[in-house]
Structure 1
Amino acid sequence: MMAEAGHPTFTRTEHCSASLVRRVAAMLDLPMEAFRDGASLPRGWHFILMGADTPRASLRADGFPGLGAPLPDLGLPRLLQGGRSVVYHYEIPIGATVTRTSGVSEITEKTSASGRKAVVKVAHSLRVADNVDPAITETQTYLLLPAQSAQKETIPAELAAVSASHMRVVTPDETLLFQYSALGFNSHKIHIDRNYARDVEGFPDLVVNGGLTTLFLTEFARRQLSLNLSGFTMKNLAPLFCNRPMTIAADRIGSQWSLKAHDDSGRVAAEMETKVNEL
């Protein structure tokens, strides 16, 4: 994995401990007996290995720690996750030692009628112990934006109907947002500080973590659809908010699946295109 010129890679050792994995199971209200040393880490749960150990003095003003690689200071104070692409190469056993390498891989600055913004991509590689090949490769896309104080929420004239072959409704609350943020050591204030989300960023409420929405979709694929994902591409199209119902919808398209997260008005807020291993 290559970092962009002038942006080094950072390598750290993580331990995929059973106790940490069981905390994810507890957050999801799943039985914990199966999550023991030697069992495979469920696909989608590797976010627990992606947290940064950024000192408080080095956090961005919005509290975001960087998830393994510092983001550039471009004078753009707001940050949103635009999406991610993930490839699963082989299983990570619970209890394994994992080496993670992270680095900024691309920076694109743009100016439009709405102002200046930047798209920053951060590439990650996770490999087990002394294996030279990665178990998981992931590229995360972040949007860096100018300051915003006005409410960004728009209310549609009418609710959109959600229709799909498989659906489920979930309502992320403050406790779930806190637990997910704590498991990933993500201190971004839009997820944990309601006053900051409203008064500084202009959101109507706490914003659901983009990674948590991703987890909802990968868990739906794993548990409801019994899919063995080999990879996926995730796009976050609009923010989702705390204490509002989210509808997860999935349809099969050929040999693959398309999964979407709809907000409480029925609009598509996130979409995932999967790649599936045949069982």
Structure 2
Amino acid sequence: MTEEASHPTYTRTEHCSASLVRRVAAMLDLPMDAIDDGAVLPRGWHFILMGADTRRSDLRADGFPGLGAAIPDLGLPRLLQGGRTVVYHRNIPIGATVIRTSGVADITEKTGASGRKAIVTIAHSMRLSDETEPAITETQTYLLLPAQSSPKASVPGEPTAVSATQTKTVLPDETLLFQYSALGFNSHKIHIDRDHARDVEGFPDLVVNGGLTTLFLTEFARRELALNLGRFKMKNVAPLFCGRPVTLAADHSGTQWNLKAYDDSGRIAAEMEAEVNEL
């Protein structure tokens, strides 16, 4: 069933400051020489303009703050990000003031063999303060799930080879998960509280943020593939875990690119369909 009631939207003024952008570069272990007012914010880094500001008393029980729009509990205590679609309409200069509008676009509840669940869609629009049209539009989907009846840690399968035109391996450690969560003011416990991730949610370790996996792939596209992303659609298929290597892979046909993130067993964890603009 789809909830028909209208949902409020929230408008915030964000400043794309050079100091904040430098923190992203520091997290990614990149040089900061070219980061100054007037330079273009790298595509994929706009997540710093979508941080939460939810009061601690208003957090969900799992710690998730909602990134710009509150996500209801609906009696479903577990939350995972399903995916996102991003369209880049124009560049955002570092130092610019950005007007961000966010809101719940849809809530759909379903009941299946595994029980009741809900899919929540959040829509975001970001425009420069002196413009009327958006610079970036983004839609995110979240899955709300029932509590685990008897959480059990998963066991990795046998590794399989990843075949693609270009690949790269990254290793998300605790420091990286902390820094990414801090940049977005994201207190979701599956990313920062190992006991909660294991004992309550049933994961084997801290879960890599869905947004961080997206950043791995957009940075792979930007730095290794020299792509200027125009739009992309991201789907999170399975969780990735702290301390386990992630293989990034890419294949393309013309301006269409297919990027994937594989876990340490060679299973697909995330897929990105991307379109690029000519540089």
Short-chain TM bin: over 0.9
Instruction: Give the aligned partner of residue 106 of structure 1.
Output: 106
Cα deviation 1:117-171 (Å, max 9, x = unaligned): 0000000000001211000000000000000142262543x32210111000111
What is the rounded CA distance, in whole Å, between the counterparts of 1:5 and 1:137 in structure 2? 23
Q: Check conservation: 1:4, 1:104, Cα contact below 8 A.
A: no
**1:67 offset after TM fit, Å?**
0.4
* Residue deviations 1:196-217 (CA, integer Å, cap 9, x gap): 1001111000000000000000
Which residue matches 1:122? Answer: 122
Q: Provide TM-score, normalisation by structure 1.
A: 0.97
Match of 1:172 in 2: 172
SS in 1 for 2:213: helix
Contact between 1:168 and 1:248, CA under 8 Å: does it hold in 2?
Answer: yes
SS at match of 2:5: coil
Matched residue, 2:185:
185
Alignment of 1:99-248 (within 5 A): 99-148=99-148, 149-151=150-152, 153-156=154-157, 158-248=158-248
Greater Cα shift, 199-208 or 247-256:
247-256
Tell me how far apart the structure 2 counterparts of residues 196 and 176 of structure 1 sit (CA, whole Å): 19
Match of 1:39 in 2: 39
Residues 4-153 of structure 1 aligned to structure 2 (within 5 Å): 5-148=5-148, 149-151=150-152, 153=154
What are structure 2's unaligned runs of at least 5 residues? none
Q: Deviations over 1:250-272 (max 9, x none)?
A: 01123311100000000000000
Distance in 2 (CA, whole Å) between partners of 1:90 and 1:70 is 27
After superposition, the Cα gap between the structure-2 partners of 1:78 and 1:203, relative to the gap in structure 1 and judged at 3 Å, is: same
Q: CA deviation at 1:15?
A: 0.5
Partner of 1:264: 264
CA contact 1:4–1:105 (8 Å) conserved in 2: no
Q: Could you report, residue by residue, the CA deviation over 1:78-129 in whole angstroms, capped at 9, with x for unpaired residues? A: 0000000000000000000000000011111110010000000000000001
CA distance in 1, matches of 2:204, 2:44: 29
Q: Measure, in 2, the Cα distance between the counterparts of 1:43 and 1:255.
A: 17
**RMSD in angstroms over aligned alpha carbons?**
1.2
Deviations 1:206-247 (A, max 9, x none): 000000000000000000000000010000000000000000
Secondary structure of 1:244's counterpart equals coil
Contact 2:153 2:198 in 1 (8 A): no
Distance 1:255 1:33 in 2: 30
Structure 2: how far apart are the matches of 1:168 and 1:62? 32
The number of aligned residues is 276
Percent pairwise identity: 78
